[in-house]
Structure 1
C-alpha cells in the first residue's frame, strides 16, 4: 500500500470520527424517541468499530 492509499484511509478515519461525534451529540440532545436513540447508539458503535479497524490497517501497513 502506498502513501496515497494511507492518506485516503486516514481521511476516512477522520470522516468516521466526525460522523460518530455528530451521532453522539444527537444522542446527548435526547430529543428523539427511545427506539431512535437506540438505533443511533448502534450506529455510533458501528462507526467506532469501523474506525478502529481502519486504524489497525493503517498501523499494519505503515509498519507499526
Structure 2
C-alpha cells in the first residue's frame, strides 16, 4: 500500500494542492495519508485494490482538510 502511495505521490500531491490551494498543507496531508496507511498495514491484510484504497484515503483526508 505504501508503495502505491510513493508511486502516485506526485498525482496525489497535485490533487491535494488544488483542493487546499496550499502546497505546504498538501505536503502535510500526503504525509498524513502515508502515516495512516503505515498504521493500517500493521492492523489489517493488504487491500485487494491498493489504488482504490489509496484514492479513498486521499479523498477522506482532503475532505477533512477542507473544514
Smaller-chain TM-score range?
Answer: 0.3 to 0.5
Normalising by structure 2, report the TM-score: 0.40
Normalising by structure 1, report the TM-score: 0.42
Give the number of the structure whose alpha-carbon radius of gyration is greater.
1
